[in-house]
Structure 1
Amino acid sequence: MAAFLTTPLPASADAPSGLERLERFYEETRSLRADFSQEVAGPEGEVQERSQGEVWIERPDRFRWDYSEPYPQKIVADGETVQFYDPEMEQVTVRDFTQGLGHTPSSVLSGSGDLSRQFEIREGGRKDGLAWVELIPRDREQAGFRSARVGLAADPVRLREFVFTDPFDNRTRLQFENIRVNPALDADLFNFQPPPGTDVLGGGGRNG
């Protein structure tokens, strides 16, 4: 398991800092399952979209986001490809894992790569009972967001919030509940097979 910090963490006189909690999260979390809610707000703070669903992550590089509200969608990665499935459109888009993600929240949470190489990592203070860490992409052209904040609870360490701002000042806030750390996950979760008749984009034609 590759370390994501290349410099010693600052000493803490009381509760663990955000950086210490983030390090523990990567050290201790091999897999997780959680319910999530997602809120997208525009530059002026107006809420544009709300959604929710369930997420499974198995490090490294495997994850599945199942959106249930306001309409079903799936994003599934097996370490080699990422599939974006829209059942209403009967369409799935298949991309190479690296090209399909870049430096996105999914790549951060699934633990792909060395975060200290991809981001400038800063302490983000404490708010709402969480210790926060700020991530600033080193390569802004490749990153899927301009900046991000990760909120972590302690004892045991749990990832509770992930807030990121895109280049157009839209802000997406992910909140996680009912978190299970290191559950045994079925490999089929990350082996998505679209239903027969689904249009396949980027992967060669039509399934079935």
Structure 2
Amino acid sequence: MDRLTKTSALLIFSAAIFAAPALAQNAPKQQPKAQTQPQTKQGPIVATTKSGLELDQKQLNSLERVTKFFNSTATLVGKFHQIGPDGSKTEGVFYMQRPGRVRFEYEEPSPIELIADGSSVAVRNRTLATQDIYPLSQTPLRFLLAEKIDLLKDSNVTSVFQDDLFVTIVIEEKSQIAGTHRLRMLFGAKDNQLKQWTITDPQGFDTTVSVYDLDAKTRPDPGLFKIDFTRYQQ
């Protein structure tokens, strides 16, 4: 499996895991546009992010609200829809159980699936019968699958924008496996629902992912998160 495919899979799945708890039950039909200009502070600085971004009270409230949504779901089952940099569209299913466990399966013709078992991450190619194993701690999944997360302290938030329609949060992360990447998320300012998120990879290409038909009550089969280290040879 080539490095670009592996890196893209890790980045896309990381974004989906982060976003899932706050999503509406149906994927958005239209993608809103993120605010791109720096937001003027509306009041005194009350907090600073890990990246050094200074926040006023309104921005801090937005960040804390997203953190609360993220920490509110321990298990989740659903479907995902992906639009790649070239406009290609793919779909699949996912299963999540925090802390540390997730499984994503693309529908055919894509052969890719990803499994995290709590300590390792496997990126499989079913067609080529290959499997690449990484320590969970060295992937973008490392804090996204944590039992609890504090976005102010645990992630590199570089931008927080808010207008009458959307709250936009941008996170930049660097990992040994995937390099430096950016995650941009848009939440509804009034309903607090995530409308879309976009991953920008180290080469500057964007991939947008949505999840839908979510079920936060069903507990996934633990067997879905088991990695067979003997099934495929690296």
Q: TM-score, normalised by structure 2?
A: 0.62
Q: Partner of 1:74: helix, strand, or coil?
A: strand
Alpha-carbon separation, structure 1, partners of 2:188 and 2:219 = 23
CA-atom RMSD in angstroms: 3.4
Q: After the TM superposition, which residues 15-94 of structure 1 pair with which residues of structure 2 at under 5 Å, given as runs?
A: 18-41=62-85, 47=86, 49-94=88-133
Number of residues paired by the alignment?
Answer: 180
Change in 2 beyond 3 A, CA 1:119/1:54: same
Of 83-92 and 174-183, more deviation after overlay is shown by 174-183
Q: Pairwise mapping of residues 2-17 of structure 1 onto structure 2 (< 5 A)?
A: 7=47, 11=57
Q: Does 1:193 align with 2:232?
A: no
Aligned to 2:155: 118
**Higher relative contact order at CA 8 Å, sep ≥6: structure 1 or structure 2?**
2
CA contact (8 A) 1:37 1:50 kept: yes
Structure 1 counterpart SS, 2:65: helix
Given residue 40 of structure 1, which amino acid in structure 2 is its aligned partner?
Answer: G
- The answer to whether 1:152 aligns with 2:191 is no
Question: Would you identify which runs of 4 or more consecutive aligned residues in structure 1 move more than 6 Å?
Answer: none
Q: In the TM superposition, what is the alpha-carbon distance from 1:110 to its structure 2 partner? A: 2.4
The answer on whether the counterparts of 1:161 and 1:175 sit within 8 Å (CA) in structure 2 is yes
Distance of aligned partners of 1:126 and 1:189 in 2 relative to their CA distance in 1, 3 Å threshold: farther
**1:131 alignment partner, one of 152, 155, 167:** 167
Gaps of at least 5 residues in structure 2 are 1-45, 49-54
**Local SS of the residue matching 1:200:** coil
Q: Could you say if the C-alpha distance between residues 158 and 79 of structure 1 is closer, same or farther in structure 2, counting changes exceeding 3 Å?
A: farther
Whether the aligned pair in 1 keeps the contact of 2:143 and 2:154 (CA below 8 Å) is no
Superposed displacement of residue 93, structure 1: 1.6
Measured after TM superposition, the shift of residue 36 of structure 1 is 0.7
1:162 shift after superposition: 2.4
Kindly provide the amino acid, as one letter, of the partner of residue 34 in structure 1.
G
The aligned amino acid for 2:198 is V
- Measured against aligned partners, the alpha-carbon deviations of 1:27-84 in whole angstroms (never above 9, x if no partner) come to 311122221111221xxxxx25322111122222211111114323210001111111
In the alignment, structure 1 segments of 5+ residues that lack a partner are 1-5, 42-46, 202-208
Bigger helix fraction: 2
Does structure 2 retain, via aligned residues, the 8 Å contact 1:30–1:182?
no
Identical amino acids, percent of aligned pairs: 21
